[in-house]
Amino acid sequence: MLKIKLAIFLIIEMLLTSNTFIYSQNDIDSLSKLNYEDLKVNFQKTQIDSTIAFRHAKAYLLKAKKKKDTLKMCNAYYFLSKFYSNKKEIGIAYSDSILKISKKIKNHPKYPAIAYERIGLIYHTFGEFNDALEFYLKALQFSLPNTFERASIKFDIAALKYRLGLREEAKELFKKHIDDIKKLQFPSKKYYYYLGLYAYCDALIYTKKHDSAQVIIDQGIKGLKNSKDDIIKIRFIMNSGINNYYLKNYNKALSLLLKSKEIIKNQHDDLTTAINNSYIGKTYYVLGEKEKGIKYLKESHEFLSETNDVALEILEGYDFIIDYYKNKQDYKNQLFYINALMNFDSVYNKKYRTVSKQITKGYEIPNLIKEKESIISNLKDNQKKNTVFKGVFISVISILTLVTLLLIKRNRDYKKRFADILNSEENTKPEIIQKKTSGISEELAKKILQKLNDYENTKFYLNKRATLSSLAKKLSTNSTYLSKVINSKKGTNFSTYLNNLRIDYAIKKLKKDPQFRAYTIKSIALECGFNNQETFSLAFKKRTKLYPSYFIKELQKKDKNTTLY
């Protein structure tokens, strides 16, 4: 199914990124005659134009393949993964290609670490933060000390912590990142230095260090004064507006926020645009232009509703909207936005975990529930309705309690199964069932079984093309006899027998080889003889009652050498 989806995505993207589909390959062939550096520079300059950027990346790949240059092929797959950042399956597939061809590269400053980082960034973009952190840690494991790649990965982890509301921790990590960047020499150093500075000043604002933040902001604006790159420069200006809002310099804040609004919007950064709109709305509201303020705050609300994303910077705006409708005695809209705010608390609990503590503390959900009940009472002054509501509330609580208990039990069962597998003897021979084989003599059945057990040592099962017929030929017997022996002596059919051998091999290798654990599930599946990730996961779950992702994460927890720094 995944292959079909990926094929569909690729076909659609080819059509979308080719003005003339018929001659696009000739165009790529022509571009491949350029040198690698020109292709790289042109890709980076033209990423806003998908057609040109795509062709330069494909030309880079074509040139690398013709010359059989592994490192250049890795570069090309990296460009293509970056190009497809907003198409999760395709972007990850290109990064997987890097991992596949960079296995033999040792002590390289970029590979394979950057491929794991790329996958982490894609998961981060799609709000799948647990998976993002998992791949950032893998990237860190393969990165070399005192390299830009390691500094970049640490920055990604800091940004993830920041997104999760751990602002104090992130602030210290951003500060250390700036120090790391200063010590390194690499292309685009100035860009990444100011990117780190911007992130640091952002963290200073939200940890209420406003005077220190303004010093950093002024430093950033001055340093980028003559820069042609508006991406970071305009964000310093926006941050100056946000910081002045908290310093209560509202007119100055409004001027800076409006100045940065259109430029950020044209950069297609929807999240930053929504945050900017939220602060414009709050500033207008405080200055007494409440109608204007509510208009901007509602635009931010619409962004959260459409994306189901959550940003702490935006949530403060709901206090203003709720207050606005409360003063108007518009209980219907007041209730609507209270429900919206509570809904985002639920999103945090499901998607952001640790952040739920921040929102609960900052927006006092228990008080909102009381206010909500009061409004419902005003809107529907009906005792029967209130009784039904309480009944439903109690039922929901009961169901949630039951679900929680079941999840605790399941987690306990998983940990026990994991411990059992971890402590099992690896050299234990499979149990031979003492059951007669119908249709053939017991003496012949034992001979076939002995050959089968001996042949397992060749690891024939790792061959994707292994079949009952091919195995029978290797054992100098026929398919019928071999099938009967497997059914009677192994207690299962050939397909399950083959899958069990592959899963047992995967478990042994995962337990022994830390580098094998760092592979993607898809790569592990292919190496163990499976045709795809889905079949491997189902066979693993059937064999162990655990999912492979859980098993690998538990192994990584036990690895004492895994550390952030």
DSSP state of 228: S
Q: State the pLDDT at residue 504.
A: 93
The least confident of 39-48, 133-142, 291-300, 371-380 is 39-48
Tens digits of per-residue pLDDT, 163-213? 877 888 889 999 999 999 999 888 788 888 999 999 999 999 989 999 999
Distance of CA 106 to the CA centre of its chain: 26
* Sequence-distant (≥ 6) Cβ neighbours of residue 56 within 8 angstroms: 31, 39, 42, 43, 46, 79
Please give the average per-residue pLDDT across 306-311, as a whole number: 72
- Structure tokens belonging to residue 435: 């059951």
- Predicted confidence (pLDDT) per residue in 145-169, tens digit: 999 999 999 999 989 888 877 888 8
What's the DSSP call for residue 242?
H
Alpha-carbon distance 249 to 330, whole Å? Answer: 31
Share of the chain above pLDDT 90, in %: 32
pLDDT of residue 413: 79
Would you say 487 and 439 are in contact if contact means Cβ atoms under 8 Å apart? no
Q: For all residues of the chain together, what is the average pLDDT?
A: 81
Q: What confidence score (pLDDT) does residue 4 get?
A: 44
Residue 239 has pLDDT above 90, yes or no: yes
- For 22, phi and psi rounded to 5 degrees? -65, -40
If one compares 560 and 561, the residue with the highest pLDDT of the two is 560
* Residue 528, pLDDT above cutoff 70: yes
The predicted structure's pLDDT at residue 337: 85
pLDDT (average), residues 217-229: 87
pLDDT digits (tens, 9 = 90+) for 420-439: 887 775 544 555 556 677 77
38 or 370: which leads in pLDDT: 38
Both tokens assigned to 540: 């693993």
Hunting for tokens 């024939």 — which residue is that? 460
User: What is the pTM for the complete model shown?
Assistant: 0.58
Asked if pLDDT for residue 79 goes beyond 90, the answer is no
DSSP output for 312-334: HHHHTHHHHHHHHHHHTT-HHHH
How far is it, in rounded angstroms, from Cα 342 to Cα 359? 10
Q: How far is CA 200 from CA 11, 279, 356, in A?
A: 41, 19, 23
* Minimum mean pLDDT range among 19-23, 104-108, 114-118, 432-436: 19-23
pLDDT tens digits for range 113-133: 999 999 999 988 887 888 888
Q: How far apart, in whole angstroms, are the C-alpha atoms of residue 560 and residue 514?
A: 11
Residue 556 binned pLDDT confidence (cut-offs 50, 70, 90): confident
Highest mean pLDDT range out of 23-27, 253-257, 345-349, 477-481? 253-257
What confidence score (pLDDT) does residue 48 get?
44
Of residues 227, 296, 229, 219, the one with CA closest to residue 257? 296
Q: What is the pLDDT of residue 174?
A: 92
Instruction: Give the pLDDT of residue 9.
Output: 43
| Confidence at 360, pLDDT banded by 50, 70, 90 | very low
The whole-angstrom separation of Cα 23 and Cα 404 is: 58
- What's the pLDDT score for residue 118? 92
Question: Could you report the per-residue pLDDT of 387-426, keeping only the tens digit for each?
Answer: 555 666 677 677 767 767 777 777 777 788 888 887 775 5
Helices (H), 84-143: 88-101, 113-125, 129-142
Tell me what pLDDT residue 390 has.
62
Q: What is d(CA 329, CA 335) in angstroms, rounded to the nearest whole number?
A: 11
Out of 33-42, 58-67, 91-100, 265-274, the most confident range is: 91-100
Give 407's Cβ-side CA count (13 Å radius).
6
**557 vs 2, higher pLDDT:** 557
pLDDT at 6 over 50: no
Tell me 487's DSSP state. I
